[in-house]
Structure 1
């Protein structure tokens, strides 16, 4: 008998969680499972990779109105006689402007957004909120019938400054809480000891076969690399978490030390303008480039000399796993889960989280070609890839 599943995600715009979901959907056995996907936005980088077997549920009419600019949204609700929804839309904007912490905003705004979402009719064998916060809240409050309800946490919970008391209410109603690394699991078990028995680790699924195949696509020379130039690539949302301000500062230090650096960032986000201004201030327009989103970033990583991840915190970085599969010399900052992915000096370098130390470690990699070759050779011998994690998922949903 085919089992019916629903996955819930805010969008498939970009990001590790979003990529992880699309990869999982492409690994599912559709002879055994029927899949619905509920999104709050039907636009995004990864939409084209959703398998044809997946049914994307339509957006609720009231949420479509809720998503309009403030005055237009309120006007439409009032014309429809929906005074309560107009009030909720106004309060949503007020909360956004009064709360600086983005994660808290998302938590506390749920009560306003939720009124614009109707019930999602089941029955489902399993409902899966595939990202922390809103996806989990929809899973609990809006899926009317599911045998099992599962929530995914893709980050180190303590790093976003969320309200654990708010999430405790929802976590207590979940059958399982899945996270992506042992360190993330330790944090959840410590923060929510009452839910300890529900916590399970399932790694993000990455496929070496697909990544290596996609890495061969595209132009033979993407960077127009000059003689003695070192090409560094980073992937991530242009967001405080990814710490690209420090990457720019590090690039400036390396340039001042006489190195010809081409540092290329693949991603987009709310810090773009801030980063562009800093690049201009430091005169790095030719050395530090924001390339935007790329549906296939792998040729860029493959052609890089070094892959760098400057994050303040991560759950388990898919981008690092992908760079490992492409056998790149990798340097990351010492965020709490870095050691889950990198063995210091064996298959990568972990630097302190400051520009001075990062510049020093990159300088060592630049000057020590043998070290770069040794790191790459070690990665080439490792059994990388996590396709077998799909079996853990099947076991999870029963």
Structure 2
């Protein structure tokens, strides 16, 4: 009899953890496992890439209600439906207004404190339940799912303090294992919860080289006819973690130096409006181009001269790894997990987290053709992919 697995993640938007999950699902042995997938938001760019064997569960009833307009919600209430949902959503909205500076970690707690009580327990029992992201998926699997074993994935360098640390401990202590995607992510997490260290293991984000190479040749990329050096960044439009403020300042420095380039950003997020304002104020319309999202970023990476990551924190840095698979030199800031895959001067350049350092590295690598070509040659000889990590996943289930 097949074992039943439930995966839970916020959505399948174009982002690192989501991409990692789709890759894992594409490699699973479906002769042994029956897989359900629960999302909290539907319509993400990676949904079409789900294997046909994966059963995408219907949206939670509360999710359907919350995504309706206020007018539609009021109509439901007048018809005698979902009053508890409405009160929970109202309380959550009020808490967000009271905590305008709340980060995503705090928002997840506020959501679960107000909404969690109106989400019913799942009627299905699983052999394994996997929260494939921090926050709400972890809370949902911890509170609402019945399973023989539960696993929590931590895809970032997860720094918890104060109330957030205490609140989330009550969930993580109930999981059978906690999976970190890099050694540095594990080090950060065990410093927060040292008494949970026996539960922690490292399974790297899985990179399927043949799949990525195939996709890189499938679709078209740039259409603007630019003949200079293209720079690409693939990351959520976020100011602090992804460091897009650093990227914009570095772009402005390069423009003022007279460098011929275009810097493209693939992603979406809450920082977009501020980015657009900065681009306009500094006349960067021809230099920093926001491309939005695509389910297939690989042609853009393949056709670029350089991949740049300006993050302050990453659990692993999946897009850097994908650029390396496609033999594209990398310039990256020195975030905590960077040396899990970067060798400074060999497969790219690692610099401090400031715009001048980033701009200097970009200019250096683009102008020094000997350096650029030596990095490309090194990348061509690097080991490609790590699909063998799937064996660690099977070992986790069988433990």
TM-score, normalised on structure 2? 0.95
Partner deviation per Cα, 1:360-391 (whole Å, 9 max, x = no partner):
11111121111111111111111121101111
Partner residue of 2:214? 213
Secondary structure of the residue aligned to 2:150 is strand
Closer/same/farther in 2, CA of residues 62 and 247 from structure 1, 3 Å limit? closer
Partner residue of 2:177? 176
Secondary structure of the residue aligned to 1:109 is helix
Partner residue of 2:232? 233
Following superposition of structure 1 onto structure 2, how do residues 269-348 of structure 1 map, counting pairs within 5 Å? 269-348=269-348
Cα distance, 1:160 vs structure 2: 9.4
The match for 1:122 among 121, 124, 142 is 124
Matched, 1:102 2:107: no
Q: Distance in 2 between matches of 1:162 and 1:382?
A: 43
Cα distance, 1:222 vs structure 2: 4.2
Partner deviation per Cα, 1:52-75 (whole Å, 9 max, x = no partner):
111111123333113334564355
Q: Distance in 1 between matches of 2:74 and 2:89?
A: 7
Contact 2:65 2:85 in 1 (8 A): no
Q: Distance in 1 between matches of 2:315 and 2:325?
A: 19
Secondary structure of the residue aligned to 1:163 is helix
Contact 1:178 1:200 in 2 (8 A): yes
Secondary structure of the residue aligned to 2:8 is strand
Structure 1 residue runs of 4 or more that deviate by more than 6 Å after TM superposition: 159-162
Cα distance, 1:159 vs structure 2: 7.6
Partner deviation per Cα, 1:331-372 (whole Å, 9 max, x = no partner):
001111111121111211111111111111111112111111
Partner residue of 1:355? 355
Q: Say which is worse superposed, 280-289 or 162-171, in terms of deviation.
A: 162-171
Q: Say which is worse superposed, 374-383 or 159-168, in terms of deviation.
A: 159-168
Secondary structure of the residue aligned to 1:4 is strand
Secondary structure of the residue aligned to 1:264 is strand
Closer/same/farther in 2, CA of residues 221 and 149 from structure 1, 3 Å limit? closer
Q: Say which is worse superposed, 59-68 or 98-107, in terms of deviation.
A: 59-68
Partner residue of 2:225? 224
Secondary structure of the residue aligned to 2:300 is helix
Closer/same/farther in 2, CA of residues 355 and 114 from structure 1, 3 Å limit? same
Partner deviation per Cα, 1:138-197 (whole Å, 9 max, x = no partner):
111111x21100001100011899811111000010000001000000111111011100
Following superposition of structure 1 onto structure 2, how do residues 45-56 of structure 1 map, counting pairs within 5 Å? 45-56=45-56
Q: Distance in 1 between matches of 2:83 and 2:231?
A: 53
Following superposition of structure 1 onto structure 2, how do residues 386-397 of structure 1 map, counting pairs within 5 Å? 386-397=386-397
Q: Distance in 2 between matches of 1:383 and 1:179?
A: 22
Secondary structure of the residue aligned to 1:350 is strand
Unaligned runs of 5+ in 2: none
Unaligned runs of 5+ in 1: none
Contact 2:264 2:291 in 1 (8 A): yes
Partner residue of 1:23? 23
Q: Distance in 1 between matches of 2:125 and 2:104?
A: 33
Q: Distance in 1 between matches of 2:161 and 2:72?
A: 32
Following superposition of structure 1 onto structure 2, how do residues 45-84 of structure 1 map, counting pairs within 5 Å? 45-70=45-70, 72-73=72-73, 76-77=76-77, 79-80=79-80, 82-84=82-84
Closer/same/farther in 2, CA of residues 56 and 191 from structure 1, 3 Å limit? same
Secondary structure of the residue aligned to 2:159 is helix
Q: Distance in 2 between matches of 1:261 and 1:103?
A: 37
Q: Distance in 1 between matches of 2:337 and 2:52?
A: 35
Closer/same/farther in 2, CA of residues 366 and 161 from structure 1, 3 Å limit? farther
Q: Distance in 1 between matches of 2:266 and 2:366?
A: 21
Q: Distance in 1 between matches of 2:350 and 2:196?
A: 32
Cα distance, 1:248 vs structure 2: 1.4
TM-score, normalised on structure 1? 0.95
Give the aligned length: 395
